Structure 1
Amino acid sequence: MEELKAQAEDLGIEVDGRWSEKRIQTEIDKALGADPVEPKKPEPKQKAGMIIKNMRPNPMKRLGLPGFGFCTLTDEQMCSEQFMKRIRHGIETGALSEL
């Protein structure tokens, strides 16, 4: 960490004491004109396009499903562990059906 701070200060960067190593490296990269590395999006555990059906007459607003309605999951939804946890729970309890 001290090495990075020294390198940053040599480049004229004022290092904030709260910065992590990652932040310092990002600032160094900016100063050197390097393209910042974009964090990778998590890969979905399943292929996007999973279709689920609400098996109940009442709508499931959290999932955006009308009563007895169908929904195709997006990549973003498939990457969300919390969202997929709800979907798996719904399938296990019989409230949802995977098609």
Structure 2
Amino acid sequence: MSGELDATIRDFSGGQKVFNRYTLIKTLGRGGMGVVWLARDEELERNVALKFLPELIVHDRAVLGDMKRETRRSLDLTHKNIVRIYDFV
């Protein structure tokens, strides 16, 4: 990943609490479309994966709108090889 892209992804650290609900545990992956963290959902007492999008995407209303539409469409899909989405913040 380029240094330029690194600067567009928010910096978090293990143990940090986000959205008043999730405690970040460790980074699972990093790529052009963001960073995925293993986190603990403190309300439901279970581990989850959280994906954080690059700042460039978050601030682009058109791209963000497209992603929200895709998220809504995918909510009805169920398959063992499709990740289930629970929230879009």
Q: Same fold judged by TM-score > 0.5?
A: no
Larger RCO: 1 or 2 (CA < 8 Å, sep 6+) = 1
TM category, shorter: under 0.3
- Choose between structure 1 and 2: higher helix proportion: 1
Q: TM-score by structure 2 length?
A: 0.27
